Amino acid sequence: MSDAQSQSTLEAKLKALQCHFTWDINTKRAELFRLRDKLEDIGNDDGNSWLGHIYNLQGYIHYQLGLKEDAQCFLSKATEAFRQSRKVSDEGPWLVVNYGNLAWLHHRLGEKAESQTYLSKVDTLLKEYPSPSQDELHPEIYAEKAWTLMKISKDKKVMAADYFQRAIRMQPDMVEWNTSYVIALVNPCKYCYTPVKENILEKIKMAMEQDPENLYLAVLELEQRALREERIEDEARELARKVLENPVSSYSGMKKLLWIYSKHISADEAIDLAEEALAKHSHVRYLKWCAALCYEWRIFSQNPVEQSKIDRAVSLHKEVISLYPDGSLLKKIDLANIYAKSNHDLPQAEKTYQELLTTELEPAEKQLLYHYYAKYLKSNRKDNNKAIEYHMKAAAIPQQPYFRKISIEVLKTFLSRNPGSPLCREIEEFLANLKV
């Protein structure tokens, strides 16, 4: 076989692998940084059954960011984590995705022999551990793909739930798969405003019976009952004690519990709980972010707001921005909006926005910034004309449907309410060009 044929055969085998390098993962730098931060905040507790998956995804992310040595380090950690968590054997189908990632990494590094070695390892595992269903992937592959899609985007959660369901159907004894399947079924929004359907609530309760130590599930179930207008104050406070005693992690349920406090009990009590958690773990950046959010929720949900709370919110947001330097656009926008609520910091709000507007950003980030700046211009500067200008800028970017749709609706509303405005003709032409 010629070198060209050999290379073509190798690439065909690599493309046929099931791993992060062949899955549809957003590779925009801003999104990669966000994912990296999210995975770091989960933590690396040895008892975490998803630790191998975390390291696997981190390996892929670091490669895409150009950090090749870090990528190899994370993929090696993933191999060891899988071997530790699956105590029945050092080798098994749970390593298929990991070995696929390593095959791709060595290929990209020009290390043909090492790449071929991992391709052979994958081939051996698939022969030794065939899928229980001839027409489907192995359940371990479905589970990891599902978990990865959950982390990538809320838009992928329906697909993730489907993959989890396929994995569970073939291997029903994996408790953590069922738990994650249920989490994927719940409203994909960060903060829920409407309850899920009864059949999904029943699935949450069944998952709690199978996984009674999982506090995140307990928080989800509590939120659903609160949305059904049940009294949950005493149970929330009891659950908060348990969460505070557990290792700090974004998997602990703390952020969602604080949201429940803010929305259904007391925003000030949520702040007290966040400050208590922060006092116990002052070095944990994730808790500082949770505390910053609590103050933000309080400031934007209730009036009047004491200046001391605004000052504390500003202080926390500045610290959080420094701790998340590569993923802080939205946090900086939040800081600008908090400045705008202060008695004396409106100029600082404008300065922060102007600095962001001159920053080099990806299209989706620009759209996000234009959207929030437009809202700020209308609410805080009372400059409706300029707000319309930035809504048009946001709508012109064909990226995030949510922000684009809102800006388009604002423009349409302006037309209906201000028929004599000089801006109407410009807006009409703009919307006609968008074909909406």
pLDDT in tens, 100-148: 999 999 999 999 999 999 999 999 999 999 999 889 999 999 999 999 9
Least confident of 39-48, 160-169, 397-406: 39-48
Residues 307, 310: Cα–Cα separation, whole Å: 5
Angle between helices 51-64 and 29-42 (to 10 degrees): 150
Q: Is the Cβ–Cβ distance between 387 and 407 less than 8 Å?
A: no
Q: Is the Cβ–Cβ distance between 373 and 390 less than 8 Å?
A: yes
Work out the pLDDT band at 248, boundaries 50, 70, 90. confident
Helix (H, G, I), strand (E, B) or coil at 268: helix
Bond into 304 cis (ω within 30): yes
What is the CB neighbour count within 10 angstroms for residue 326? 13
Query: pLDDT tens across 294-326, in order?
Result: 999 999 988 888 999 999 999 999 999 999 998
- Contacts for 56 with CB less than 8 Å, ≥ 6 apart: 20, 74, 75, 78, 97, 98, 101, 144, 148
- Contacts for 311 with CB less than 8 Å, ≥ 6 apart: 342
Q: Is the Cβ–Cβ distance between 59 and 78 less than 8 Å?
A: yes
Question: Exposed, middle or buried: residue 15 (CB in 10 Å: 0-12, 13-18, 19+)?
Answer: exposed
Q: Is the Cβ–Cβ distance between 242 and 215 less than 8 Å?
A: yes
Q: Is the Cβ–Cβ distance between 252 and 217 less than 8 Å?
A: no
Residue 321's alpha-carbon distances to 256, 292, 313, in angstroms, are: 21, 10, 12
Residue 16 token pair = 């046929």
Residue 352 token pair = 């922060």
Q: Check residue 4 and give its pLDDT.
A: 60
Phi, psi of 111 (to 5 degrees): -100, 80
Query: 243 versus 154: which is more confidently predicted?
Result: 243
Q: Check residue 46 and give its pLDDT.
A: 65
DSSP string, 105-155: HHHHTT-HHHHHHHHHHHHHHHHHS--SSTTS--HHHHHHHHHHHHHH-GG
Q: Is the Cβ–Cβ distance between 106 and 17 less than 8 Å?
A: no
Residues 57, 74: Cα–Cα separation, whole Å: 8
Work out the pLDDT band at 436, boundaries 50, 70, 90. low
Distance of CA 35 to the CA centre of its chain: 7
Work out the pLDDT band at 190, boundaries 50, 70, 90. low
Q: Check residue 2 and give its pLDDT.
A: 56
- Residue 247 above 90 pLDDT? no
Q: In this structure, what is the dihedral angle of CA atoms 290, 296, 298, 300, given to the nearest 10 degrees?
A: -150
Residues 50, 425: Cα–Cα separation, whole Å: 55
Helix (H, G, I), strand (E, B) or coil at 346: helix
Residue among 404, 429, 403 nearest 415 (CA)? 429
Q: Check residue 134 and give its pLDDT.
A: 86
Residue 282 token pair = 């002052």
